[in-house]
Amino acid sequence: MLQSVDWLWLLHPVLAVAVVYPLLGMVLRLALQTRDRRINKTKLPPTVGRDHADLGSWLAAAVVAIVLLALAVVILTAHPLAAFPGGLPRLGLVLLVLLGSVLALVLLWRAKSPPYRASFALLCWAGVITLGLQGEVYRLGDNPFQGAFWQSHFWGGAGLTGLMLFSVAGRPEITKQLRWRRLHASANALAAVVFLAQAISGTRDLLEIPISWQKPAIQACDYQRNICPVAPPAAPNP
């Protein structure tokens, strides 16, 4: 039986399936149509480029917002708030970084000047990484020279967040300059691969992360030898 906290943990994958991946399909289709219209001069509506940019911005915002939501849920539900490790000072810092990241994302959408756009994108990305480095966040590894790092769902999400923020921050330059469009196309191709990897690693993590009432038993397992303590036999019914 799922508890309330388990439903909160499911918000991230549910929103990813219901919002992010449908948006991704539309953005990729519009990207191909935009390129086809520009290069092959096909008779497509002139609005495909603008629609691609608009939906791409919504996709980027959705990705960043869902990642921040997932990190907030994981960190704030790992312990009772009264017994939060580090006490009120650490809890306050976590909330400050979370709110600062959300504010940076909102300001990124509104900023016009290139330095402001770059600054808000970097601030938001730094906030995501800072939250992800908290001990409550499930990561396979933090060393980029080890394979576990590249298989980690969090680090894939952090990289994807950076690519999405770059697309939003560079939108005016991408629209006007060929060099930026080529860089944007390369970044989008990489993002599409990372999206696929995230679908795989996210599904894997759903199998590996237990629901709340199972955690004490699962955490007693030996992950190096792939064994778990044998449960005592159930008492016979009287």
**Helices (H), strands (E): how many in the chain?**
10, 0
Q: How many CB atoms lie within 10 A of CB 77?
A: 16
Q: Which pLDDT tens digit goes with each residue over 188-218?
A: 899 999 999 999 999 998 888 888 888 888 7
What pLDDT score was predicted for residue 124? Answer: 96
CA proximity to 124, closest of 56, 46, 60:
60
Total tally of structural domains belonging to the chain? 1
Which residues partner with 227 through β-bridges? 222
104 part of a folded domain: yes
232 part of a folded domain: no
The first and second tokens of residue 231, run together, are 């449960």
Contact 62, 19 (CB under 8 A): yes
Q: What is the largest CA-CA distance in the chain?
A: 82
Q: What is the DSSP letter of 20?
A: I
212 part of a folded domain: yes
43 part of a folded domain: yes
238 part of a folded domain: no
Q: Which pLDDT tens digit goes with each residue over 130-164?
A: 999 998 998 988 999 999 999 999 999 999 999 99
Rounded Cα gap, residues 161 and 147, in angstroms: 21
231 part of a folded domain: no
Q: Which pLDDT tens digit goes with each residue over 80-105?
A: 888 888 888 899 999 999 999 999 99
Confidence bin at 25 (pLDDT 50/70/90):
very high
Residue whose tokens read 């790092």: 149
Query: 71 is in which domain, residue-wise?
Result: 4-219
Percentage of the chain exceeding pLDDT 70:
97
Full-model pTM: 0.88
What pLDDT score was predicted for residue 236? Answer: 65
